[in-house]
């Protein structure tokens, strides 16, 4: 290949590459934000749709999470034997009566948190008390009883109710086993749902579609046709840019290839 001809081709393809890339930089990209929408939401925003108020708890590139509270939801849980719970601000230890089929359990009020100088002897914990240059040892349970007074004990069986601070309401004892106590209650519970980008979703009897503007905010609209037109415009711009990048890169590589071939030694 004559080098003069090769140079012309090199320039030709470089011009095409530069033109394609320049066109990408010149054409204005469509805004990721829609012009018309019903709600524009950020994380921690509250929005009332229908008769329910939702809070936006998370936004990422393709989905968002809405949270709300249902006032009366049937719930259940298990309280393990020998665990501690709080009832009306007081801490209790759960102790189920021995046996394969226990009929009751007891809530023993625990002593407040304390720091004592103690020693153990014969499996018994003693409190070390130093008074008037004399040291004496008192069983820990006796010392705490004298210091804080007698502790409450609440005996419960199947069908009984008690206030459990975790549930924030009174719970009913459904079953007692050697390992734990099954309880149930009706009370408030937080619910969540995930909204995906571009998927029509019914919220409060109304169908919305979500347009995500990065991870900053989300636009909800009931105009699905307008959303689809907006999404098509973004897709068309992205596809066109990809095509021009392809033309630019391919033209540049072609110019390099032709330039390299032109310097190959001629066959004699």
Average pLDDT, the chain: 82
For residues 148-176, give the mean pLDDT. 93
Res 31 pLDDT > 80:
no
Q: What is the mean pLDDT of residues 51-67?
A: 93
Residue 162 falls inside a structural domain: yes
Q: Poorest-confidence range of 91-95, 183-187, 235-239?
A: 235-239
Query: Are 152 and 125 part of one and the same domain?
Result: yes
Are residues 171 and 211 both part of a single domain? no
Confidence of residue 247 (pLDDT cuts 50, 70, 90): low
Please indicate, yes or no, whether residues 19 and 101 belong to a single structural domain of this protein: no
53 shares its domain with 39: yes
Q: Does the pLDDT value for residue 44 go beyond 90?
A: yes
* 26 is a domain residue: yes
Does any domain span residue 167? Answer: yes
Residue 30's pLDDT band (cuts 50, 70, 90)? low
Domain boundary (123, 154, 188) is at 188
Q: Let me know if residue 130 belongs to a domain.
A: yes
Two tokens at 57?
């708890």
Question: Which of 53-67, 162-176, 215-229, 250-264 is least confident?
Answer: 250-264
State which of 8-22, 128-142, 152-166, 251-265 shows the largest mean pLDDT.
Answer: 152-166
Q: What is the pLDDT of residue 4?
A: 62
Task: Specify whether 62 is located in the same domain as 80.
Answer: no
The pLDDT-based confidence of 204 (bands split at 50, 70, 90) is confident
Structure confidence at residue 79 (pLDDT): 97
**Per-residue pLDDT, 61:** 83
Q: Specify if 10 maps to a domain.
A: yes
Of the pLDDT bands very low, low, confident and very high (cuts 50, 70, 90), residue 245 is low
**Which residue range(s) make up the domain with 249?**
3-70+193-262
Q: Is residue 61 part of a domain?
A: yes
Q: What is the mean pLDDT of residues 192-217?
A: 90
Residues 96 and 103: their CA atoms lie apart, in Å, by 9
Q: What is the pTM of this model?
A: 0.59
Q: Which of 188, 215, 234 is the last residue of a domain?
A: 188
The answer to whether residues 50 and 98 belong to one domain is: no
In this structure, the answer to whether residues 125 and 201 fall within a common structural domain is no
Tell me the average pLDDT across 230-247. 64
> How does residue 255 score in pLDDT terms, banded at 50, 70 and 90?
low
Q: Give pLDDT, residue 24.
A: 54
At residue 82 the predicted structure's pLDDT band, cuts being 50, 70 and 90, is very high
Judge if 92 and 151 occupy the same domain. Answer: yes
If asked whether residues 154 and 179 sit together in one domain, one would say yes
Domain count, the chain: 2
The domain boundary, picked from 188, 216, 232, lies at: 188
Task: Assess if residue 149 is contained within a domain.
Answer: yes
Q: Are residues 180 and 97 located together in one domain of the fold?
A: yes
Residue 267 placed within a domain: no
- State yes or no: pLDDT of 117 exceeds 60: yes
What integer pLDDT is reported at residue 73 of this predicted model? Answer: 92
Identify whether residues 236 and 213 lie together within a single domain.
yes
- Quick one: pLDDT at residue 71? 86
Residues 168 and 204 in one domain: no
């Amino acid at each position: 290949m004559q080098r003069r001809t090769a140079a012309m081709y090199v320039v030709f393809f470089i011009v095409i590459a530069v033109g394609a890339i320049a066109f990408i930089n010149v054409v204005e990209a469509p805004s990721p934000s829609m012009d018309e929408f019903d709600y524009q939401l950020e994380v921690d925003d509250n929005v009332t749709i229908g008769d329910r108020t939702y809070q936006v708890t998370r936004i990422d590139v393709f989905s968002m999470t809405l949270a709300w509270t249902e006032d009366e939801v049937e719930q259940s849980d298990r309280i393990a034997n020998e665990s501690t719970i709080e009832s009306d601000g007081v801490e209790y230890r759960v102790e189920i009566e021995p046996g394969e089929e226990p009929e009751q359990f007891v809530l023993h009020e625990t002593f407040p948190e304390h720091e004592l100088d103690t020693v153990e002897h014969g499996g018994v914990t003693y409190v070390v008390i130093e008074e008037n240059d004399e040291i004496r040892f008192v069983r820990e349970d006796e010392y705490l009883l004298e210091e804080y007074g007698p502790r409450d004990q609440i005996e419960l069986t199947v069908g009984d109710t008690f206030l459990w601070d975790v549930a924030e309401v009174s719970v009913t004892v459904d079953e007692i086993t050697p390992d734990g106590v099954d309880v149930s209650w009706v009370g408030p519970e937080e619910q969540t749902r995930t909204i995906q980008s571009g998927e029509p979703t019914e919220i409060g009897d109304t169908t919305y579609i979500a347009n995500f503007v990065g991870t900053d905010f989300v636009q909800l609209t009931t105009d699905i046709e307008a959303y689809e037109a907006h999404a098509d415009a973004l897709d068309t711009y992205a596809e066109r840019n990809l095509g021009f990048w392809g033309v630019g890169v391919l033209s540049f590589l072609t110019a390099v290839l032709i330039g390299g071939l032109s310097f190959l030694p001629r066959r004699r």
